[in-house]
Structure 1
Amino acid sequence: MVYLMIVIIVVVMIIILIKTAVKPNRQSLDQTEMTQTGKPVILLIVDSLMNEPLQQAVKKDRAPALQFLMEHGRLYPDVVSSYPTMSVTIDSTLLTGTYSDKHRVPGLVWYDENEKRLVNYGSAREEVFKLGVKQVAEDNLYKLNHKHLNRDVKTIHETLADAGQQSASINALVYRGNEKKTLHIPEVAAKLKLAPETLHIKTPALFSYGMLSQFSPKNDQHIGPFEKFGFNDAFSAQELKHLIQNDKLPAFTIAYFPELDQEVHKNGPKEHIDAIAKTDKQVQEVLNTYESWDEALNSAIWIVMGDSGQAEVGNDKNQSLIRLKDMLDDYNIYKVTEQVKKDDQIVLGHNERMAFIYILDEAIRQEEVVKKLQKDERIGFLAWKDGSSVHVAANGHKEIFTFRPDGPYRDSYGQTWTIKGDPSVLDMTVHGVVIEYKTYPDALARLHSSLHSHSGTYIIADAKPGFEFQGEGTPIHLGGAAHGALHEQDTIVPVIVTGTDTKPRHMRIVDLYAWMIDLTKNR
């Protein structure tokens, strides 16, 4: 999921910056006064960390830091992510305690009905170039946090600031806070008119974002083009160390470790123990900042978590890649290299193993598109909304399943629903009035939120494990792994907690927000 800054900055500027000096935007901590008391909360997000490979790494003595935290705290191995399982949506859920129907960041790629364009925060190089680097850069660097992320919901940084508590964000994609800050974009990007010279943004009190905003002068070695301009594990670790060494840890700090995700995409969901060991070395670096690891535990509440899982993608490009454009060739499909035209009937928004299918032509019924796609055995299910209701169809199921919020049926999260039809479409069972989720954890809430996350007439297509959607220039991971889907393989992540006996109300990322707020209050 770390295509964002890699694509926007690396692809565009690598050839030029490789020949020029990289000038970091460094901020001093001298003027930052920490007024918090008690133990700070430190949240480390390890992109695509999954429980089974983590356990294997620990068993082989390849992850001593994570093992230490597990042995001196608690491991929650089956926490449910949000949907689609893409970083921007997950991070928005984590930071706001809401699903996408409330925070309004639908996915990595989605169609803005008001602006009549495809929003892309940075997927693959080819797709970004086709859509236009300037537009993708603007969406990523500014609009994600300041236009698309709903102003009616508060991030954890905003909530803490309102309560007089300071917070820090290190390399997190979603970071909105209350402090006004100016980002100075590299001169070459401004000259090429790929981005404005400056961006006026709102951040937490302490904000680090690769070479665009950093604390530690020692991090100059980690901000070059081959180090993804600071969007790497070593940079995040060094920034966190700098806060600790200078006694500047605020009440809450979030630090993002992106590199594991790339290895999982490349090598699959099982063969990446070396990558976990590499990330663990950076966690060791942070813990070594203290006199001892025991002192680290005594000094802070530590939370380490994955954000999404990944499912295997097969090697056969003809079988493993689902090409919706070919399956819907009876319609005029929008081409990403052009503006949306009047005769375009369908827009495709690919999010790896999940896709939005937008219907622009009012003469096309959603059901007719669903029937075409339902024939494909590689698609796990198709879903579309009708007011507050959601309809779900799947290959091999003649009956449609329909649900909406509120009603006599209750799930394990205390949510109530009205349901009709065949619940096995979503691999659910119903015992009396109790709903039990299997393959698709928290399926009803996550799917309902995604279909009500933004305006427009659209269908969700969700792939079975082993398969991935492919569009014009989209990333593909043949022989590796991908995410985005509702499936448990994309969804379940581990969370390690030390320093508190409390836990979230439910084991879902959406429930971590309220719990973390409480941790800062009860320090």
Structure 2
Amino acid sequence: MIYRLLILVFLSIIVITSCSHLGSKNERNSPIIMQTKDSTSPKVVLLVIDSLMDEPLQKAIQEDKAPALGFFLKQGQYSKGLVSSYPTMSVTIDSTLITGTNPDKHKIPGLVWFNEDEQRIISYGNGFFETLKYGFPQVAQNSLYQFNNVDLDSNVKTIHEELDNNGVQTASINALIYRGNYNHTLKTPKILAKTTPLPDQYQTNGPKILSFGDFIKLDPKNKHVVNRLGLNDAFSAQEFKYLLKKDLLPEFTIMYMPENDHSVHIKGPMTTKGIEKLDKHLQEILNVYPKWENALDNIIWIIIGDSKQSSIKKNKKEALIDLRKSLSNYHVVKLGETVRNNDEVVITANERMAYVYKINNGFSIKDIASKLQADSRIAWIAWKENEMIQVISGANKEVFQFKPGGPYKDVYDQTWYIKGNSAILDLDIKSNHHITYRNYPDGLSRLYGALHSHKGDFLIVDAKPGYEFIGESSPEHAGGAAHGSMHKDDSLTPMIVTGTDKSIEHLRIVDIKSWILDIFEGDIIRSN
């Protein structure tokens, strides 16, 4: 019994799931200027608030329940239309954030996916019961070591690696993705190391300054480790205050605040409880200064959400799409079991999207797609065929096809060849071959990235708003909220910026890294 409780404690901290409108036409088609007063220091703080959304943020500020966020918003520039990565799951989003690439380059497909080479499902921690079936030592290995040091493609450079190569010191506080140029030791908390099969420590590569809960911390007096072993907002704030008070804050810092996500999953997308709680921690940080305004004198603050969440219907039978039932004619691989010769299909549900893999030659990927097409809760189904992406939906029997390059150009200056019924992805195509996105912002690039994120013969299913995919022992959020899909209800998140006049070309998470590098390049040039 004690052993099971310890497993529960550990798994509760490795569940790392996370996710408005795009703005005016001018905002979408020209560089966005984030400008307040000039900064006299190159220090940049990137604060990532899990599942921060425009409506509850504005509500909390208007009701004076988030004075710190209100302060930053008043002093800076604000947008509610920052486009997330896809799938809209924190592990993929954060990989995109620090590499400046989509999953076709950084190779983190989602929270759960199937590794064809190893013939096993990779999970970074997707709920207690699902993790039990995978085996929590393996999930711990995936999330504490493999994620940053193996699966994140070595051919792409993180912002920590690039800035360090340019002589700029960086820090990461509780961020899920933090790969850098320096070796660190993550120490397993003693109670877990002594009572579970977990090793005493993990070696990992991170920035010069790395903090990750009770596994590695900066402030020896930081006692906020009981809740999720330090992977919480109070721990993050305490570590940041330590750097401030010791005058150790480097030129660039990423700080991750995870707890709002948990509140939204349970209470729904309009709850302000998580925002109110994290704002108290931001107030503690601002109170380190003589006046809050002093925090703006030497720091460029970039405050973003990672994705949005959308409501899930209360009725479980209606809301939850059990892909095992839809594919009952196939032999589906069971969680935690070795793939056998008669296995045909693998399902990895990532909340409101899922990967479905064909691992047997006795049928085609189209056969699976046709089975799923009958479910009216599924918005669309996509897969690769030769060089083209194929997309179908239950509402329309036609096919939409696309690939990079061609005569069509979208609002992000990306060119495409397209054919068929573009209404399936809700594209608005003008007579001059100009593409704008409606329900699926940056949909072509994001879908292409997910379908090229890893090897295998698989398809993607994306749910309509209100619905969520489940597989064997998947987490469920009926009556609450979830993310994962490419729909704008999961994809658009706020952004607050103070202290720089450097423009960001497009409001997408994939563009933030290059924008920050440009800020530092300008500071370095001015200092020389």
SS in 1 for 2:297: helix
Partner Cα distance (1:465, 1:147) in 2 = 34
Partner deviation per Cα, 1:478-505 (whole Å, 9 max, x = no partner):
1000000000010000010000122321
Partner Cα distance (1:241, 1:42) in 2 = 13
Aligned pair partner of 2:186 in 178, 183, 186? 183
**AA partner of residue 397 (structure 2):** K
Partner deviation per Cα, 1:66-123 (whole Å, 9 max, x = no partner):
1111111100110100000000000000000000000000000000000000000001
User: Is 2:82–2:507's contact at 8 Å kept on the other side of the alignment?
Assistant: yes
Name the residue aligned to 2:121: 118
Partner Cα distance (1:177, 1:108) in 2 = 21
Going from structure 1 to structure 2, the CA distance change for 1:447 and 1:375 (only over 3 Å counts) comes to same
SS in 2 for 1:199: strand
User: Is 1:104–1:149's contact at 8 Å kept on the other side of the alignment?
Assistant: yes
Percent of pairs identical after alignment?
Answer: 47
**AA partner of residue 423 (structure 1):** S
Partner deviation per Cα, 1:153-204 (whole Å, 9 max, x = no partner):
0000000111111100000000000011122223444445532222111110
Which structure 2 residues correspond to residues 294-443 of structure 1 after superposition, within 5 A? 294-432=293-431, 433-443=433-443
Name the residue aligned to 2:152: 149
User: Is 1:346–1:361's contact at 8 Å kept on the other side of the alignment?
Assistant: yes
Deviation for aligned residue 1:337: 3.3
SS in 1 for 2:88: coil
TM-score, with length taken from structure 1: 0.92
TM-score, with length taken from structure 2: 0.91
Partner Cα distance (2:63, 2:200) in 1 = 49
User: Is 2:349–2:469's contact at 8 Å kept on the other side of the alignment?
Assistant: yes
Going from structure 1 to structure 2, the CA distance change for 1:210 and 1:130 (only over 3 Å counts) comes to same
Which structure 2 residues correspond to residues 215-234 of structure 1 after superposition, within 5 A? 215-220=218-223, 222-224=224-226, 227-234=227-234
Partner Cα distance (1:520, 1:193) in 2 = 44
User: Is 2:185–2:216's contact at 8 Å kept on the other side of the alignment?
Assistant: no
Structure 2 segments unaligned to the other structure (5+ residues):
14-39, 524-528
Partner Cα distance (1:340, 1:504) in 2 = 46
**AA partner of residue 241 (structure 1):** K
Partner Cα distance (1:213, 1:11) in 2 = 16
Deviation for aligned residue 1:219: 1.3
Name the residue aligned to 1:289: 288
Deviation for aligned residue 1:13: 9.3
User: Is 1:7–1:124's contact at 8 Å kept on the other side of the alignment?
Assistant: no
Partner Cα distance (1:521, 1:452) in 2 = 32
Going from structure 1 to structure 2, the CA distance change for 1:483 and 1:12 (only over 3 Å counts) comes to closer
User: Is 1:252–1:520's contact at 8 Å kept on the other side of the alignment?
Assistant: no
Deviation for aligned residue 1:453: 0.4
User: Is 2:261–2:274's contact at 8 Å kept on the other side of the alignment?
Assistant: no
Partner Cα distance (2:95, 2:325) in 1 = 33
Aligned pair partner of 1:58 in 58, 61, 76? 61
User: Is 2:383–2:458's contact at 8 Å kept on the other side of the alignment?
Assistant: yes
User: Is 2:111–2:125's contact at 8 Å kept on the other side of the alignment?
Assistant: yes
Name the residue aligned to 1:505: 505
Q: In the comparison of the two structures, how many residue pairs are matched? A: 492
Going from structure 1 to structure 2, the CA distance change for 1:59 and 1:7 (only over 3 Å counts) comes to farther
Aligned pair partner of 2:201 in 198, 203, 206? 198
Going from structure 1 to structure 2, the CA distance change for 1:91 and 1:233 (only over 3 Å counts) comes to same
Deviation for aligned residue 1:472: 1.3
Deviation for aligned residue 1:39: 3.2
Deviation for aligned residue 1:12: 5.4
Name the residue aligned to 2:41: 38
Which structure 2 residues correspond to residues 232-243 of structure 1 after superposition, within 5 A? 232-243=232-243
Deviation for aligned residue 1:520: 2.4
Q: CA RMSD in A?
A: 1.6
User: Is 1:7–1:125's contact at 8 Å kept on the other side of the alignment?
Assistant: no
Name the residue aligned to 1:446: 446
Partner Cα distance (2:11, 2:480) in 1 = 26
Which structure 2 residues correspond to residues 83-102 of structure 1 after superposition, within 5 A? 83-102=86-105
